[in-house]
Structure 1
Amino acid sequence: MAGTTAGGKSRLPALGQGAGYRAAAQREGQAPQDGDCGLFCLRPRWMRPLANRLTYLLVYCSCGLVQGMWYTYFVSILTTVEKTFKFPSSTTGIVLAGNDLAQIFFAVFISYYGGRGHRPRWVGAGMLLNAIGCLLSVLPQFVWGPDPADVAAAMAGAASTNASDTKEFESGLCHLPELSTAAPATGALQQCDATDVSLVPVVLLFLSQFVSGVGATAYYTLGLTYLDDSVDKKQSPVMFAISAGLRVMGPMLGFLLGSFSLSRFVIPGLHPAISQKDPRWIGAWWLGFFVLAGLLTAVSGLMCLFPKTLTVHAKDPEPEVKDDIMMDKMMGSMDEMHTGTRPSEKLPDYEGLKAALVRLFRNPLLMVLLVNVVFAIIGFIGYFTFMPKYQQAAFKQSASKASLFSGLSGVLVTLFGYIGSGVVIKLVQPRAVFVTGYSALVSGIQTACMFALMAIRCDEAPMHSATGLDGQFMLTAGCNADCGCDSNMMSPVCSQDGMASFFSPCFAGCQSVSSVNGSMVYGNCSCIVDVEGNSPQEGGGIMAFAASATSGLCELPCSNFVVYMVILGVMKFVGSTNRTGSMLVFFRAVDDKDKSLAIGMATALMSVFAFIPAPIIFGAVVDQTCLVWEEKPCGGHGNCLFYDTDKLRVYLHTAVIIPFAISFVLDMAVIYLSRNIKLYGDDEKKPGSAPNGGMDIPM
């Protein structure tokens, strides 16, 4: 009978009322649905096919790519920012801590409430906050700007284009009367009062990091769980691998953007003739933030268009079932009119949050995983934050080239490692104990690579100096004691035989200068006579200058930088093959309903114990290797002008090896605790028994 089910019960309460419901249901079917793309009531029908997992994966990866660009761009410009605003590496760690402090304060809140709300819009709003943080980052350039004295010193190199004009260089020579007078005491006091405002750039940079950290929290805690909830558990390894593989291009592009920006001078329109390797060069560190702000705004808009949940469009439901669904939605809409809220969208209460946190903290596998990751992150973040600085100091690379090499090292192999490992896990489906065992192997290999990197060095000409009574490194020696040299102005020169470097022409005791074939040649250098053991009359020198020197540090041939980059690429590749498996174990260690909160809690804990202390600890380690500090007029240190490269090499890599070794030990505990974890759902297959004999990438 029409209008009845097989059991004889009427499916519609009354013909007229049922027809009304059906008509309303048809109108509901023509209206925008919750699963459609769009914002608010603007949900065009042509966008409906875009509400699928592949489209979301592309947009999510685009967000991650720009996020990666933002982080590595900031890392690439750190050395230049320290030089511009004259603060040590330990202060750099405090600036970077702003990002992680924001995650501590907001990670649990965003992951818990955002995880039960409209996650794509939360992520989109986070991207927009990140864009605002980029704009805040450029304010120090326009509010404070570089020191005019530093700009003048860099522009002095332009005099080399005029062979008869050496006046700009004579101020840096030895025995000039204006350098031996003590008149500028009052001026120094005025300068001291003026430089007190140098705290402003640090505060602005910290604020930009804090705002960006709030935005990044939503992306990292909500974006991936939204994807994981929309795919079958067997497909998760592939989706994780693809997302990680596509996002790996972000750090490379960030370093490339940093290299491009730092190859331009900090003041637009000025073109110093000095080399980018010259310590006086200051790159346009602020330029790339405008590019990043535009990209972040664009991906923010795209992310906000996705629906609250992604539906599986495998096949349409039966007509009668579809009618029942429509009527259920109609009844839900009527309830909403009476109550003002939808039951599924009620904010969870405090007791629910407390219970969920208790479940997570009582999960031994999750806790050991987090401690393990904390130590690994301390090593990675600390090393890669100061890696461009290390390359500049140890291998005499310019800031732009150090950024370029940092970005290009191991990009293709890392991409292959991410995607390849995901495909292997999907096809082989190894048990959790094998996945975690491989993680331990990766930790061991990375620790060995750090030992190898620590052994790589380049010979360099020593910096001329004297040793104080307490063994302190001193630029002032007997040959330049009466020159009145300024240790805050590094303008290195190289002796005529290329075997000794000097902090500046003044510290080399040079008393004359001339431009020869576009290069500045300093003559009558008393300290070079002292180094070479020749008198000015005996040492003819180059270009007929007795005991002469040329601009720049002495460069000895060294090919070890290539070896360094190869080992670094191997370490990155090995680490990338472990990313997908580790992520899979983390997600399967907790209940599905706790995934977003687990990521939020992990983000907060890693910020407290890894992301915040790592740059501060490593910044302090790097500062311990400084030989020459820029002295502030009011007292205290500015940025480091010259490092003990051998001590920097040993200290920096040792600081990485220690947490890596601890992480390796904790991997043993993870292997034991993960032995009963099911990575692929309740119907976990044995290796080689993947369904349909192959791999499907869900759409």
Structure 2
Amino acid sequence: MKKNGVDNLAFEPPSPEQRRAVPGPQQSPDPQEEEEAAEELCGWGRCAPPLLQLCNNAKGYLLFYSLLSVFQGIIVNGLINVSISTIEKRYELNSSLTGLISASYDIAFCVLCLFISFYGERGHKPRWLAFASFLIGLGSLVFSLPHFLSGVYKYGEKLDDTCPVTNSQFYNATCTPGSKSSLSNYLYVFILGQLILGAGGTPLYTLGTAFIDDSVPKHKASVYIGIGYSMSLLGPAVGYVLGGQLLNIYVDFNQQVRTDITPDDPRWVGAWWVAFVVCSFCTWLLVAPFSYFPRRLPGTQRIQAEKISEAHDDGKEHKDMGKDIKNFPWTLWSMLRNPVLMCLVIAAAVEALVATGFATFLPKFIENQFGFSSSYSATLGGVVLVPGAALGQIISGTLVSKLKLDCKNVIKFIAITCSIALALNSVFLFAKCGNEPFAGVSETYNGTGMLSNLTAPCNMNCRCLRSVYLPVCGTDEVQYFSPCYAGCSSVSIQKSGKVYSNCSCIVNPKTAFNNFTNGAITGKCTSKCTALPAFLFFFFLTVVFTFMAVTPTTVAILRCVPDMHRSFAMGVHMLFLRLIGTIPGPILFGVAIDNSCTLWSVDNCGKSGACWVYNNHLMAYTLMGISATCKVISIAFTVIAFVLYKPPPVKTSASQKDIETEMSVQL
């Protein structure tokens, strides 16, 4: 068997078992060799059953690494993203605060990643992942605690809100000065859960990835890393689908409470908490398998000996660093001085800003742009984001492996995929929807009243409650905040639901509901926009090409630094990924979405809560502008990295070629 033209049998050193089998003095066991062999057994201490050795290889490790990545993805990138809009309504939070919840995971990651990646490089990496499994399960359980601590959800007993509102219906309209809902205080519990999840995710994507690169040949590393990363995206897929389906179940189904609302009602809150509890216990099951893996897999030393460094500028001045804890500052400084590493890190971080922002708010974007329910929007978001991201990483990992690209060509590959993604970003220009007519928000009440004012002459005497949001669609195909604001004085129960009639604000009917020409039915008006298929198709392609840069970026980062610093380089990469990308990403997107709000919920004291209606055009253009700007910056830094990268001196390859030639002559 030959590799790179060299007979491996001529170079491969005999194993400890082969050396002990040679007759003569060499048969005496070498204590050091026996100790090294014991360190490569799967088990705990001297307990190493033969059955466990079946998983004691790179494929076995990849299996459990992928399972942990799946559950971490279900919780962090799936369930939390799906539940964001539901948590906003349930705990009276706005998008900026829920963006802070999403960013809390990355804050913990930033604080810990450098230290864990530096100290973990010298430690037992699989057991670090066992600890990570425990923390991820604990964080998921903590995140679900607000449901058990906040009591039963109360959406209000008054459902009809017809005109006029009687005095007895003002029971919930009283404002107590200085009163404040305690629900928003659960924000801190959500943040605590995310901080624990961030601490658990740190070893997974620093030490876990470096352990894969240590344990497989260089040309196979991109495939293994690509599979691991793509499996981590299976988690969000499951999270989006599972979480979306659970949102169709009432939040307090276990309390046996009576509900008079359906999932189509804007006040509906689904059972967002169930999957968090289940996933916490499932993740704890992975603690034991990771604890059994050895410090290094069998054959790792031979694989490391065969690898040729591709470190930028050969990494000469850094080779002796990082052997002692006291060298932590100098090792960090050497990483920061590596221009290729830093350009790749910044480029990846800026891309992550966009990816995290869309992962958090894409369901909300679809819900408001195309008029679907939270559950259906979450499912559509998962169908686009997760398969696209997984497909992109698998394709790129396979291409890099099959083409055997060196570090410089990998960087060129990254620049090409990012450029294509930038061109596809124009999907927001043509695949967007305007707002359906909304009385008092996007248009006046038949020429009366003013914009941004729900009160008009036709409903002035109704004394409607602004705190009760019950949208109805009139026969004039205009949406109203509630039956009261539409001036409806009668209600009847039909098979299709409640039908309101005698609506004084509806004067130009275009249709009829059960022979009521000036009536209205519950729910928002159906969107007439037909751009959803085009949006989903082009956004899917954008996601594919965006994530085609993820695995090659990881490979390039691991190659452009000295071998002993690969874990630490991943720590630096993840630090900047969070600081520049995933922390500000949800916050920036949340602020941008809030700025496009045209109708806020208001309590009886006039305090704003969640947003009910957005300006769809402004939202689409704002998100497109953020995405395009970030991609241009990412491409610029990738090109700079390509220009600055200096491959190792040719003498390394030349000496290898001389050895190959000499061996060919001998053979």
TM-based fold match above 0.5:
yes
Match of 1:60 among 62, 65, 70: 65
Match of 1:133 among 131, 139, 142: 139
CA contact 1:265–1:271 (8 Å) conserved in 2: no
Alpha-carbon distance in 1 for matches of 2:600, 2:628: 28
Question: 2:286 aligned with 1:280, yes or no?
Answer: no
Task: Identify the residue that residue 660 of structure 2 maps to in structure 1.
Answer: none
SS of equivalent residue, structure 2 residue 506: helix
Question: 2:498 aligned with 1:520, yes or no?
Answer: yes
Alpha-carbon distance in 2 for matches of 1:667, 1:124: 35
SS of equivalent residue, structure 2 residue 286: helix
Alpha-carbon distance in 2 for matches of 1:210, 1:420: 33
Question: 2:167 aligned with 1:178, yes or no?
Answer: yes
Alpha-carbon distance in 1 for matches of 2:198, 2:412: 33
Deviation at residue 66 of structure 1 after TM alignment: 1.4
SS of equivalent residue, structure 1 residue 587: helix
SS of equivalent residue, structure 1 residue 462: coil
Alpha-carbon distance in 2 for matches of 1:31, 1:685: 28
Task: Identify the residue that residue 316 of structure 2 maps to in structure 1.
Answer: none
Once the two structures are superposed, the pairs formed by residues 349-498 of structure 1 within 5 Å of their partners are: 349-409=324-384, 411-412=386-387, 414-458=389-433, 460-465=435-440, 473-497=452-476
Question: 2:643 aligned with 1:664, yes or no?
Answer: no
Match of 2:86 among 76, 80, 83: 80
Alpha-carbon distance in 1 for matches of 2:411, 2:218: 18
Question: 2:278 aligned with 1:299, yes or no?
Answer: no
Deviations 1:617-665 (Å, cap 9, x if unpaired)? 1111111111121224565421112212222222222222221121122
Alpha-carbon distance in 2 for matches of 1:629, 1:423: 48
Deviations 1:211-264 (Å, cap 9, x if unpaired)? 110010011110010111111212212222222233331221111121122121
Once the two structures are superposed, the pairs formed by residues 84-99 of structure 1 within 5 Å of their partners are: 84-99=90-105
Task: Identify the residue that residue 692 of structure 1 maps to in structure 2.
Answer: none
Taking structure 1 as reference, are residues 44 and 501 closer, same or farther at Cα in structure 2, changes over 3 Å only? same
CA contact 2:599–2:612 (8 Å) conserved in 1: yes
Deviation at residue 544 of structure 1 after TM alignment: 3.8
Match for 1:266: what amino acid?
V
Match for 2:219: what amino acid?
K
Alpha-carbon distance in 2 for matches of 1:683, 1:41: 45
Task: Identify the residue that residue 613 of structure 2 maps to in structure 1.
Answer: 642
Task: Identify the residue that residue 530 of structure 2 maps to in structure 1.
Answer: 559
Deviation at residue 414 of structure 1 after TM alignment: 4.5
CA contact 2:348–2:634 (8 Å) conserved in 1: yes
CA contact 2:153–2:251 (8 Å) conserved in 1: no
Taking structure 1 as reference, are residues 593 and 211 closer, same or farther at Cα in structure 2, changes over 3 Å only? same
CA contact 1:84–1:146 (8 Å) conserved in 2: no
Alpha-carbon distance in 2 for matches of 1:395, 1:313: 53
Taking structure 1 as reference, are residues 491 and 527 closer, same or farther at Cα in structure 2, changes over 3 Å only? same
Taking structure 1 as reference, are residues 583 and 214 closer, same or farther at Cα in structure 2, changes over 3 Å only? same
CA contact 1:240–1:422 (8 Å) conserved in 2: yes
CA contact 2:357–2:586 (8 Å) conserved in 1: yes
Match for 2:506: what amino acid?
I
Match for 1:663: what amino acid?
S
Match of 1:605 among 576, 579, 584: 576
Taking structure 1 as reference, are residues 546 and 470 closer, same or farther at Cα in structure 2, changes over 3 Å only? closer
CA contact 2:407–2:560 (8 Å) conserved in 1: no
Match for 2:647: what amino acid?
N
Task: Identify the residue that residue 277 of structure 2 maps to in structure 1.
Answer: 290
Once the two structures are superposed, the pairs formed by residues 660-699 of structure 1 within 5 Å of their partners are: 660-674=631-645, 676=647
The worse-fitting range, judged by mean Cα deviation, of 606-615 and 223-232 is: 606-615
Alpha-carbon distance in 2 for matches of 1:478, 1:684: 90
The worse-fitting range, judged by mean Cα deviation, of 137-146 and 172-181 is: 172-181
Alpha-carbon distance in 2 for matches of 1:59, 1:547: 62
**TM-score under structure 2 normalisation?**
0.84
Match for 1:422: what amino acid?
G
Deviations 1:28-82 (Å, cap 9, x if unpaired)? 9699922111234432233123211110011111111111111221111100000
Deviation at residue 481 of structure 1 after TM alignment: 2.0
Alpha-carbon distance in 1 for matches of 2:597, 2:654: 59
Task: Identify the residue that residue 120 of structure 1 maps to in structure 2.
Answer: 126
Alpha-carbon distance in 1 for matches of 2:50, 2:37: 8
Taking structure 1 as reference, are residues 658 and 145 closer, same or farther at Cα in structure 2, changes over 3 Å only? farther
Alpha-carbon distance in 2 for matches of 1:622, 1:597: 36
Match for 2:270: what amino acid?
G
Once the two structures are superposed, the pairs formed by residues 503-518 of structure 1 within 5 Å of their partners are: 503-518=481-496
Alpha-carbon distance in 1 for matches of 2:339, 2:250: 53
Deviation at residue 458 of structure 1 after TM alignment: 3.4
SS of equivalent residue, structure 1 residue 638: strand
Match of 2:550 among 579, 582, 593: 579
Alpha-carbon distance in 1 for matches of 2:31, 2:566: 35
CA contact 2:141–2:276 (8 Å) conserved in 1: yes
Alpha-carbon distance in 1 for matches of 2:134, 2:159: 48
Alpha-carbon distance in 1 for matches of 2:250, 2:208: 38
Taking structure 1 as reference, are residues 442 and 98 closer, same or farther at Cα in structure 2, changes over 3 Å only? same
SS of equivalent residue, structure 1 residue 241: helix
Deviations 1:265-303 (Å, cap 9, x if unpaired)? 111145746442321221111111012112211223222
Match of 1:311 among 291, 298, 304: 298
Task: Identify the residue that residue 662 of structure 2 maps to in structure 1.
Answer: none
Taking structure 1 as reference, are residues 25 and 113 closer, same or farther at Cα in structure 2, changes over 3 Å only? closer
Task: Identify the residue that residue 234 of structure 2 maps to in structure 1.
Answer: 249
CA contact 1:589–1:677 (8 Å) conserved in 2: no
**TM-score under structure 1 normalisation?**
0.80
Deviation at residue 429 of structure 1 after TM alignment: 1.9
Match for 1:97: what amino acid?
A
Larger radius of gyration: 1
Task: Identify the residue that residue 200 of structure 1 maps to in structure 2.
Answer: 185
SS of equivalent residue, structure 1 residue 528: coil
Taking structure 1 as reference, are residues 549 and 632 closer, same or farther at Cα in structure 2, changes over 3 Å only? closer
SS of equivalent residue, structure 2 residue 473: strand
Deviations 1:74-93 (Å, cap 9, x if unpaired)? 11110000011011000012
Alpha-carbon distance in 1 for matches of 2:462, 2:470: 15
Match for 1:512: what amino acid?
S
Taking structure 1 as reference, are residues 117 and 358 closer, same or farther at Cα in structure 2, changes over 3 Å only? same
Deviation at residue 675 of structure 1 after TM alignment: 5.5
CA contact 2:153–2:252 (8 Å) conserved in 1: no
Alpha-carbon distance in 1 for matches of 2:272, 2:354: 26
Deviations 1:165-196 (Å, cap 9, x if unpaired)? xxx644x1111222787x877x5318x63x44
Q: Flag structure 1 segments of 5+ consecutive residues without an equivalent.
A: 1-10, 13-17, 154-167, 316-346, 687-699
Alpha-carbon distance in 1 for matches of 2:43, 2:654: 36
SS of equivalent residue, structure 1 residue 527: coil
Alpha-carbon distance in 1 for matches of 2:421, 2:561: 28
Alpha-carbon distance in 1 for matches of 2:193, 2:497: 42
Taking structure 1 as reference, are residues 633 and 422 closer, same or farther at Cα in structure 2, changes over 3 Å only? same
Task: Identify the residue that residue 310 of structure 2 maps to in structure 1.
Answer: none
Alpha-carbon distance in 1 for matches of 2:398, 2:611: 47
The worse-fitting range, judged by mean Cα deviation, of 428-437 and 501-510 is: 428-437
Taking structure 1 as reference, are residues 610 and 524 closer, same or farther at Cα in structure 2, changes over 3 Å only? same
Alpha-carbon distance in 1 for matches of 2:82, 2:426: 24
Deviation at residue 559 of structure 1 after TM alignment: 3.2
Task: Identify the residue that residue 589 of structure 1 maps to in structure 2.
Answer: 560
